[in-house]
Amino acid sequence: MHISEGVLSPGVLIAGAGLTAAGVAVGLRRLENEEIPSVGILSAAFFVASLVHVPVGPSSVHLILNGLLGLILGWKAFPAILVGLALQALLFQFGGITTLGVNTLNMALPAVVCHYLFSWGVGIGARRLVFILSAFAGGCCAVFLSSMLVGFSLYLTGEAFLPVAKVVVAAHLPVMVIEGGLTAVCALFLRQVKPELLEGAYVPKLSSQPQNGSG
């Protein structure tokens, strides 16, 4: 869901960059130094997940996972996604320098929204059904909002983009369902195997002084 360089109008680029800067600032304020390595892993995961292709009938889609990232990281998803996208631009030429702001906003804002809507449901204490539904909704909703934002960025650039915007949103409808399902199973996996990663709005902290263990 990256928008390439040269497509968007200056107004959209500036607005995107401004809002992203604000989001990143909030995220950074909450990001403590010891958390940087573990947030780094999650942005790396975000990056690598885009390589996982999921078959859907004859074609395949790649994972986005901004929902899962949002559930775990909250506002810190902004810096995490910013860095992930910057590296994607540098290494694969997906997106670029001037669109970095808009692209980050389109991915990270839904992540934060989903965090506020659903992270209560993926706490360790949550009932299994609530947990599954929240994780599903988180994954689903983040992709839906992202595709809407991408469409909206295009539409704001020019009315002529409207059909393109509609195609983008439509193309992401199956992705939404798959992403929701995968987020749910993946969250269940984490809950079973490494619940620390999911403790509500908890950010895994590679603390240097674990009181009673490995942190």
Partner 1 sequence: MIVKEFAAGDSLIQRLDPRVKIVVATLFSVVVAVSTQWVVLVLALALGFCIVQVAGVPMKELIRRLVPVNGLITFLWFFLPFTFEGESLFSIGPLVATREGVYYVARISIKSNAIMVVLITLIASTSIFTLGHAMYELGIPKKITHLFFFTYRYIHVMHHEYLRLVNAMKIRGFRPRTNMHTYKALAYLVGMLFVKSYERAERVYNAMLCRGFRGRLYSLSQFSMKTIDIIFLILMLAVILGLVVLEWTRIA
Partner 2 sequence: MDKNSLIINLMDVTFAYPGGAPVLDELNLQLHQGERMGLMGPNGSGKTTLLHIIMGLLKPSSGNIEIFGKTVRQEKDFRSVRQRIGLLFQDADDQLFTPTVLEDVAFGPLNLGKSQDEARTVARKTLASLGLTGFEHRMTYKLSGGEKKLVALATVLAMEPEVLLLDEPTAGLDETTEKRIIDILKGLDLAYILISHNIDLLMEATHRIGYMIRGKVSVDEERIPHTHIHIHEHGRYAHKHGLKWPDKKY
Residues of this chain, 69-128, that bind partner 2 according to CB under 8 A: none
Smallest gap from Cβ 205 to partner 2, in A, equals: 14
Compare residues 80 and 142 and give the one whose CB is closer to partner 1.
80
Count the neighbouring beta carbons within 10 Å of the beta carbon of residue 56.
Answer: 12
- The answer to whether 184 and 103 are in contact (CB under 8 A) is no
Structure tokens at 116: 């506020």
- The answer to whether 76 and 24 are in contact (CB under 8 A) is no
H or E element, residue 9: none
* Identified binder of partner 2 from the candidate list 10, 51, 57, 211, rule CB under 8 A: 211
Would you give the DSSP letter of residue 64? -
Sign of CA dihedral 156, 46, 203, 135: positive
Smallest gap from Cβ 147 to partner 1, in A, equals: 14
* Identified binder of partner 2 from the candidate list 64, 131, 189, 202, rule CB under 8 A: 189
Is 214 a binding residue for partner 2 by CB under 8 A? The answer is yes
Smallest gap from Cβ 211 to partner 2, in A, equals: 7
What is the binding site for partner 2 (CB under 8 A)? 189, 192-193, 208-214
